[in-house]
Amino acid sequence: MGLDWPIIPDHPEWLPDAARFYLDHTAAGLSLRAIARREGVHPSTVMRQVRRYENRRDDPLMDSALTLYSNALDAKDAAMIATRLPAAAAQIEAEAHRILRRLAEPGAVLAFAPEMEKAVVLRELPNGETARIAVVAREIAEAFVLRDWIACRKAGRISTYGVTQAGRLHIRQASGLAEAPAGFDWSGADEDRLPRYGTVETPVAQMGRRRDKDGQPFLSAELVSAAERLREDFELAQMMPGTSQNWDRFLDGGARSTGGAGGFGPAAARDRVATALRDLGPGLGDVVLRVCCYLEGLEQCEKRMGWAARSGKVVLRIGLERLRRHYAEHHGRGPMVG
């Protein structure tokens, strides 16, 4: 007996079964009963999953993702469509580890507009201002919504998304893999120096909420934004393949950037971090690197640096002020999403 359904191109290995069923039915023309026979499940099971995705087409990011993958099945030139598809599950996992953790921070949302090539993660600061804390390629954000790691909170010209319970669960499951990011050499670093990837609120964010004796924030919104900008580049740089990187070397002039400070990719992010650390120099660069990027607490940083108690706050504030000036002088307001 021959098959009663068409030959369908292979879907990406990471695509959820329910999304495959939807695409096979709506784009490839396979009947619900045929899909059920192929999968060995009841047709009502397939129907519920197909309807679930159809009911989510009002979500702009979901609609964009389903349109992309539907076109990939229909396209005469599949190679053209494939340029917008994530390369592999590993690429999605790497970005999920970076982006979902930022979305798990208090007040963080992912913002997406259909005309943009990238989505941006924003977080509301204590003074009501909003800071950009991460940027992610549109096709990766589309994969997140297909896998139910993020969900639309508000649809509109600019739609906002939050991390789901499934996304939070994925963060926890992946946390064991995150202690030593691929491509980085943490040689000589003891365990408590490694980045605290399970931390929900960063040390800088906590200090941004605290007030001094005059009722003013200890760290202004501009300084928190500068810290977040450095951390964004630091985490993006970790995705650079084949690189063994010890950032401490940039503080003593032992390493050089490659000159690609512009752009969005990991290499450009690495150079921006390198340039910023060299501008700050030893001392200021040390405390900014450890608190903003390694996410060390100030007490731990003071102990490591051999400083007096509570002196780290002052040094950190001076370092962040110089970092803010560095970004203003060399990069302006920075690249916008898209």
Q: What was the pLDDT predicted at 140?
A: 93
pLDDT average, residue stretch 316-325? 95
1: pLDDT strictly greater than 80: no
pLDDT tier at 193 (50, 70, 90 boundaries)? Answer: very low
Of 179 and 93, which is predicted with more confidence? Answer: 93
pLDDT at position 246: 53
For the cut 70, the answer to whether the pLDDT of residue 81 exceeds it is: no
Has residue 72 got a pLDDT over 60? yes
Amino acid at 134: A
% of the chain beyond a pLDDT of 70: 75
When mean pLDDT is compared across 36-45, 121-130, 158-167, 220-229, the lowest value belongs to 121-130
Position 71 scores a pLDDT of 80
pLDDT of residue 186: 33
Q: What is the pLDDT of residue 185?
A: 38
pLDDT the model gives residue 145: 96
What pLDDT score was predicted for residue 80? Answer: 46
Residue 336 pLDDT greater than 50, yes or no:
no
| Average pLDDT over the chain, rounded to an integer | 80
141-182 pLDDT, tens per residue?
999 999 999 999 999 999 999 999 999 999 888 765 443 333
> What pLDDT does residue 56 have?
93
- Which fold, 87-178? Arc Repressor Mutant, subunit A (1.10.10)
> Mean pLDDT, to the nearest integer, of 56-77?
82
Whether residue 242 is predicted with pLDDT greater than 70 in this model: the reply is: no
Residue ranges covered by each domain of the chain: 17-82, 87-178, 181-338
Residue 76: per-residue pLDDT: 47
Arithmetic mean of pLDDT, 280-286: 91
